[in-house]
Structures are given as C-alpha cells and as structure tokens.
Amino acid sequence: MPSSSSTPACLRWIGDVGGRLELLDQTLLPSRHEWIGCPDVESVVEAIKSLRVRGAPAIGIAGAYGLAVAAAEAGRRGLEPGLAREHLHARAAELDSARPTAVNLRWAVRRTVAAVERLPADAPTTALEAAVLTEARAIHAEDRELCAAIGRHGARALAEALAAAPGAGVLTHCNTGALATGGDGTALAAITTAWDDGHRFDVFADETRPLFQGARLTAWELVQRGIPVTVLVDSAAGQLMRTGRVAACIVGADRITASGDVANKIGTYSLAVLAAAHGIPFFVAAPSSTFDLSIDGGDAIPIEQRAATEVTHPLGMQAAPDGVLAYNPAFDVTPAALIRGIVTEHGLIQPVDRERIADVLRATL
Ligand code: MRU
C-alpha cells in the first residue's frame, strides 16, 4: 500500500487582486473531477447552497473569497470607495446566509468585512480589494495550519483508543478531509495522520445519506491517499460496533456551543448514542472557528432543512413514490455528555464541559 500524501485542494484563487475563484465541484465526485469558475457572487452563493463546496471550514474560506469576488466586481464597475463598501456589505449578507448551520461561514465573512472596516475612511477602492483578498488568503492559509495541528492531536487520541481495543478500527461520518477544509481536514486528518504515524487499522466510512459525502468524498480521499477504507450504510454502524470492530468514532462539527453540544451532519447523534451504548469513545474534531460561544445549548443552533428530493431521489434516482413527504434536516445535535473529547488546534478538550472549553479557547478569544 503506498504511503499517505496530501489530496488536492477543494478551492483556489487564481491570480492576484482582480483574479478569480475556482472550486472543485464536489457534486460530481467521485466520477468526475472538475473545477468550476465563480465569475460573480451569485455563483459563489449558488455553489455553497448546492454543496459544490461544502464542509464548515471550506464554506468559510469560500465565503471570504466570495467577498474578494465582490471587491473585484466593485473595482471593475469603477465604484467609488463609499459605494464599494456598501456593495461589500450587501454581498457579505448574501454570502453569510447561504447556509445557516456552520458558524465558520459567518465567522470568515465577518472577519473579512472587519479587515475592510479597519482601513481609513478615505481608502481607495483598490485598497479595499487588496485588503479583502489578503484576509481571505490569510484565513485559507491559517486553516491549513489548524488542520495540521488537529491532525496531530487527533492522531494521539486515536492511537490511545486503538491500543485499548486491539484489532478494532475507526469509524467516521460525512466528509471532514481536504474536500471540507483549506488543509488536510479535521477528523479525517486525525485518521490520516495516525496512518502516517505508522498505525495500521480499519477505517470505516458511513456512506452518509442522503448526499453520500462518506461514500463519494471520504472514500475518494482515502483512495487517493492509498489508505484502505470500508464503506457501510449508515444503519450498519450498530452491528459494526456490536461485533467489536470499532475502537473509536471521530467526526467533524459545524457548530459547537459554549457547553459543548455539537451540530454536525445528520446521523452524528445516532452514532454517538450507539457509541455510548457500546462504551466506544466518540471524538469530535474542529478548529476554534467552529465554536459559537454566544450559544449555550444545542437547541439554539439553527438546523438547515434541505429539499425533499434529496431523500426521495438519492443520486437522482427515484426511491420513493410521488407525493410522499420527506424529513430532511442536514444536521443534528449531539449533546456534550455523549462526547469523549473535542480535538482542536490547541489540543484535546476533555472532559467536554463549559469550563474546559473556555480554558482551551482562551488563547483565541
Ligand atoms: O452538508 P455538508 O457536507 O457541508 O456537511 C459537512 C459536515 O457535516 C462536516 O462534518 C462538518 O462540516 C465538518 S468539515 C471539517
């Protein structure tokens, strides 16, 4: 088996100020690997809504670059600085509401707007353009570093769990790798780093209905890296655990509250309940930009509801009769009590409670 190496990025900025944003269209994977251009903010918003770009950190980075697209629009239209700022604010509102659950999107867009606000009031439009692109690039570059740190800390937690359950493997859900971030990923980086460190174990990926991010994207990334992966239907996780094949679960997050409740891809909560029932450690991996300390408990997290057709017509094939209703929340909330530890760039938050979260995050507040 070849050794693991980095997978391709999921988004890139071509050129400098006035350049363009390109996204790897993830709706086409694994059968087609195609980059699409985003000539205007509408196309960035559409790409975020339709999951051409997805994963909490990646949509944050796309939102920041989306503002660079907006700034370039202002430059091309020759807007004077006051109008250019108004244009950026209007576009920021469209970008940060493109998807409601992942707080990284709002965080990255607001951080980029703040970079513009720090410029002198009489700064020319060209300075606005440069400031937006510089901030977007900084967010992108920082995310690479955060992923690397999360990978290191997460690999240590997994190594311990693997040592405690010889012969068992690691189960993950959705996609939390290079396709979901600006670097090598969060939960998936923990898995690939453990593999790179020489640990050998089974990697299990839930297919992750209804959009199959596990089967289409996580499995694709692991194949690219030469790491063997076993895909299972989401409902097989209980049987896998009952037969002793899971040493640990590790997943990502879209928003984590001050008390440690975690919103993540639908199916995460069921997995955490199953893990608790089998005494299996359940880890969450996320950068500090995924924490929303303005919210105390998970009930306050807005949960995105998506189109019924994603359930009735999976992968475009009719799977339910015409006229049925579908329940399709994109995310669920896992209470802190079910989570063994949260892996951040600063290290492992364990136990998961308000005090420990505040302690570990103090560095970034
Ligand atoms: O709907 P998606 O594919 O954007 O959902 C992605 C997830 O739920 C991920 O687990 C989460 O964003 C973390 S990505 C590092």
Q: How many CB atoms lie within 10 A of CB 42?
A: 13
Q: What is the 8-class DSSP label of residue 27?
A: T
Q: How many residues does the chain have?
A: 365
The residue among 230, 236, 194, 193 whose CA lies nearest residue 215 is: 230
Q: Which atom of ligand 1 is nearest to the CA of 59?
A: 4
- pTM for this structure? 0.97
Q: What is d(CA 349, CA 362) in angstroms, rounded to the nearest whole number?
A: 12
How many helices, marked H, and strands, marked E, lie in the chain?
11, 14
Cis peptide before 287 (omega within 30 of 0): no
Q: What is d(CA 69, CA 82) in angstroms, rounded to the nearest whole number?
A: 18
Q: Whose CA is nearest to atom 8 of ligand 1?
A: 265
Q: What is d(CA 173, CA 188) in angstroms, rounded to the nearest whole number?
A: 9
Burial profile 199-226: b = 16 or more Cβ within 10 angstroms, e = fewer: eebbbbbbbbbbbbbbbbbbbbbbebbe
> Is 202 designated active site?
no
Q: Which atom of ligand 1 is nearest to the CA of 285?
A: 15
> Three-state DSSP class for 158?
helix
User: Could you tell me the distance, in angstroms and rounded to a whole number, from the CA of residue 364 to the centre of ligand 1?
Assistant: 22
Distances (CA, A) of 20 to 15, 23, 40: 7, 10, 9
User: Could you tell me the distance, in angstroms and rounded to a whole number, from the CA of residue 73 to the centre of ligand 1?
Assistant: 29
Query: How does pLDDT run along the chain (365 residues), one tens digit per residue?
Result: 334 555 569 999 999 998 999 999 999 999 999 999 999 999 999 999 999 999 999 999 999 999 999 999 999 999 999 999 999 999 999 999 999 999 999 999 999 999 999 999 999 999 999 999 999 999 999 999 999 999 999 999 999 999 999 999 999 999 999 999 999 999 999 999 999 999 999 999 999 999 999 999 999 999 999 999 999 999 999 999 999 999 999 999 999 999 999 999 999 999 999 999 999 999 999 999 999 999 999 999 999 999 999 999 999 999 999 999 999 999 999 999 999 999 999 999 999 999 999 999 987 65
